[in-house]
Amino acid sequence: MNQAILSVFLFVLGSTVLGAQANYPADAIPETLLKYADAVVRKHEVKFMVANKGEAIETEHLVLTLLNKNADRFSEPAFSYYEFEDIKDIEASVYDADGMLVRNLKKKDIEDVNPPSFAVNDFRLKVLHLPGRSYPYTIEYTVTKKYKGLMFYPRFQPQVLPSISVEYASFEVTMPTDLEVRFKEVNLPSGSKTGSNKWEMNNIAAFLPEPYSTRKSLNLAEIIAAPTEFTFGGIDGDMRTWESYGEYLEKLNSTQTDLPAAFRQKLNNIVQDCPDTYCKIQRIYEYLQSNTRYYYVGLGIGGWQPAPATKVDQYKYGDCKGLSNYTASMLNAVGIPARYAIIRAGEEEQSTQFPDFPNAWFNHAVVCVPMENDTLWLECTSQTESCGFLSNFTDNRMALVVTPTGGQVLHTPKYDETVNVARQETSVTMQPDGSASLQSKGVFSGISQQGPAYLESLHDELRREYFYKKLNLNNFEISSIEFKRNKSRYPSVEQNLVLSLSSFGTANGKRLFLPINFMSHKLEVPIADDKRQGDFQPDERGYTESDSITISIPSGYTLEGQFEPVVVTSKFGTFENFVKVNGQSLVIQRKLVINAIVQPKTEFPAFVTFLKIISKADKAKLVLVKSEIKP
């Protein structure tokens, strides 16, 4: 092949991916986009073309320059597909730092991945294994998908993380004349909308998230598209309102709730001696936990339609949809109205839904049980959770409850500093050489009990490994660790520790220096930045720490000086720290309450001052001095 023919061949091959722009040299990135960035989106274009209520074509073109190893998570793009979402075409390339083509995607570079072993579904992934280079280097791909069911329209967020800069991004939706699309614009730069259904954004710089920022205060730009009328799984739906969307979900669920008559009678026998409604709910929930296990089922429309309650009862397993539908069906069978509900689960997903914008951004199902003076929520995928308690996976967020008359938006329970409480009572017996024995009993409730509850389920060796890393103590051995769970409406865990410490106190001549806070975690104090841009939140939920520590000091030693009590009350919480002498013992009383109230940026310096006071008190040392023995 002569040089001229070879050049033409390479140009045609590269053009299948490159289009009009052949190179993306890293040194062409504006300097303003490199600061704080791990990667830079050179170009991100998404076009969503709707043909009718149930069909659409989506084309995504992305060019991404990876600047360092922190961007490795983006080095192997993956694309899902299943019965209603088909990948029609994938093209991709890799470029070096100078923007020179390294290689185009080959068929062998695409791995077709099966679902995980804990699932049975028709979801699959195509993972692109692109050859890595020394940093910086650039990946480019174009993916075309065809949708054959349209409950979801795209959610476009070009800057997915603060550590990503965006050079250029565009999003466009085209619709047939007889259908309407709805949009929710979030934190868009001024002038982004360039057409009736088109947006373009340029030069969005990466940034360092400010300490104690809320997800909302990150101000990441986002466009959410959603249908009005749609067809999914052969069933027509309407998403103009939450009520109408709930009507569609009710259609999916209405055929899946029947239970055999003999089983309904069995359930009524289980609850027949219950004195109240909560007892009945608890019995049914315990039956669920004892007789079923989680197993994801997502075949076809099964990704959204729960498995029939009869099948879950027969096979004794199900996913969140199947188990929640099964639980609601069992509760209704014993005369307790219970509703299937969908939710956006995830510890960091509390603010990703928009109650004023009906859309299908959900990924989990639970059960809602309206009661006379309360509403009970049930997490049906856990075999260990307490009846009526939602963890940080599903607490304090919007849920769409499916009723016979449509959808109803409710809020799941919010667990604050009055619920999330850690109370610890600790006794320390010291020896003159600074060694000591320690016994501690802690009772953790609400969200605070999730860590100890998890530890309770682990092997003793793993528990010990955790405490050796976590406790603010040096040179200690763990004699015993015990846990006891209380599965009430607001669950708690009792934790008992016995330690042997070779150097609890640090000796210096006739003095012993003792730590004052060694059971609770120490706060990190940020810098008080007067140029802060966003609001802040002292804690995502709020919590209370209460420590009572009694230290039996060696004979002949006394506390040197006076320990001034610390008492602080602020809009961020409260802090109290006292040390009292009780005979030959020192009694330390420490209580910290942090709330979850979002504060304006102007209050941040005052918050830092509040944290400094706490940190100073926690780092203080108690000094014991040995009395002089008179002849």
Is the predicted pLDDT of residue 2 greater than 50, yes or no? no
* Structure confidence at residue 120 as a pLDDT band (50, 70, 90): low
| Domain-located, residue 191 | yes
Give the residue-averaged pLDDT of 88-101.
94
| Domain-located, residue 416 | no
Same domain, 178 and 275: no
- List the structure tokens of 203: 């030069």
Same domain, 345 and 486: no
Give the residue-averaged pLDDT of 475-489.
94
| Domain-located, residue 344 | yes
- Give the CA radius of gyration of the chain: 30
Three-class secondary structure of residue 447 per DSSP = helix
Give CA–CA dist 365/363, Å, rounded.
Answer: 7
Residue type at 144 in one-letter notation: T
Give the residue-averaged pLDDT of 260-278.
97
Of 411, 437, 453, the position where a domain reaches its end is 411
Q: Compare 566 and 506 and report the one with higher pLDDT.
A: 566
Query: How confident is the model at residue 298, as a pLDDT?
Result: 67
Is the predicted pLDDT of residue 92 greater than 90, yes or no? yes
Same domain, 303 and 329: yes
**CATH assignment of the domain containing 591:** 2.60.120.1130
Q: CB within 8 A of 276, min separation 6: which ones?
A: none
Give CA–CA dist 334/271, Å, rounded.
Answer: 8
Model confidence over 400-443: pLDDT tens digits? 999 999 999 999 999 999 999 999 999 999 999 999 999 999 99
**CATH assignment of the domain containing 212:** 2.60.40.3140
Element (H or E) spanning 278, and its range? helix 277-291
Model confidence over 194-207: pLDDT tens digits? 999 999 999 999 99
Give CA–CA dist 101/298, Å, rounded.
Answer: 40
Q: Compare 136 and 121 and report the one with higher pLDDT.
A: 136
Is the predicted pLDDT of residue 17 greater than 50, yes or no? no
Query: How confident is the model at residue 83, as a pLDDT?
Result: 85
Q: Compare 285 and 562 and report the one with higher pLDDT.
A: 285
Query: How confident is the model at residue 3, as a pLDDT?
Result: 37
Of the candidates 33, 31, 49, 51, the residue with the CA atom closest to the CA atom of residue 41: 33
Give CA–CA dist 404/397, Å, rounded.
Answer: 22
Is the predicted pLDDT of residue 276 greater than 70, yes or no? yes
Same domain, 283 and 374: yes
* Structure confidence at residue 340 as a pLDDT band (50, 70, 90): very high
* Structure confidence at residue 12 as a pLDDT band (50, 70, 90): very low
Query: How confident is the model at residue 214, as a pLDDT?
Result: 87
Percent of the chain residues past pLDDT 70, beyond the cut: 94
Residue 289 near residue 333 (C-beta atoms within 8 A): no
Give the residue-averaged pLDDT of 500-514.
92
Same domain, 355 and 257: yes
Give CA–CA dist 28/42, Å, rounded.
Answer: 10
Same domain, 297 and 192: no
Q: CB within 8 A of 269, min separation 6: which ones?
A: none
| Domain-located, residue 263 | yes
* Structure confidence at residue 522 as a pLDDT band (50, 70, 90): confident
| Domain-located, residue 363 | yes
| Domain-located, residue 14 | no
**pTM for the whole structure:** 0.89
**CATH assignment of the domain containing 345:** 3.10.620.30
Range of the domain at 109: 24-232
Q: CB within 8 A of 374, min separation 6: which ones?
A: none
Element (H or E) spanning 607, and its range? helix 604-619
Give the residue-averaged pLDDT of 350-358.
87
Same domain, 386 and 407: yes
Is the predicted pLDDT of residue 303 greater than 80, yes or no? no
Residue 138 near residue 95 (C-beta atoms within 8 A): yes
Same domain, 489 and 369: no
Mean pLDDT, the chain, rounded, equals 91
Give the residue-averaged pLDDT of 550-564.
92
Is the predicted pLDDT of residue 7 greater than 80, yes or no? no
Give the residue-averaged pLDDT of 14-37.
75
Q: CB within 8 A of 10, min separation 6: which ones?
A: none
Same domain, 520 and 448: yes
Give the residue-averaged pLDDT of 481-504.
95
136 prior amide bond cis, ω within 30? yes
| Domain-located, residue 587 | yes
Same domain, 223 and 270: no
Is the predicted pLDDT of residue 182 greater than 80, yes or no? yes
Model confidence over 58-81: pLDDT tens digits? 999 999 999 999 999 999 999 988
Domain count, the chain: 3
* Structure confidence at residue 28 as a pLDDT band (50, 70, 90): very high
Of the given ranges (83-97, 206-220, 287-301), which has the lowest mean pLDDT? 287-301
* Structure confidence at residue 332 as a pLDDT band (50, 70, 90): very high
Query: How confident is the model at residue 121, as a pLDDT?
Result: 58
Same domain, 522 and 482: yes
Query: How confident is the model at residue 185, as a pLDDT?
Result: 97
Give the residue-averaged pLDDT of 509-527.
91
Of 232, 261, 282, the position where a domain reaches its end is 232
* Structure confidence at residue 86 as a pLDDT band (50, 70, 90): very high
Query: How confident is the model at residue 117, as a pLDDT?
Result: 54
| Domain-located, residue 396 | yes
How far is C-alpha 358 from the geometric centre of its chain's CA atoms? 22
Query: How confident is the model at residue 236, as a pLDDT?
Result: 96
Is the predicted pLDDT of residue 246 greater than 70, yes or no? yes
Same domain, 195 and 66: yes
Give the residue-averaged pLDDT of 609-623.
95
For 234, which DSSP code?
T
Q: CB within 8 A of 83, min separation 6: which ones?
A: 122, 148, 149, 299, 300, 301
Is the predicted pLDDT of residue 9 greater than 50, yes or no? no
Q: Compare 444 and 507 and report the one with higher pLDDT.
A: 444
Could you please report the per-residue DSSP string of 238-297? Answer: E-SSHHHHHHHHHHHHTTS----HHHHHHHHHHHTT-SSHHHHHHHHHHHHHHH-EE-EE
Query: How confident is the model at residue 115, as a pLDDT?
Result: 61
Of 355, 379, 411, the position where a domain reaches its end is 411
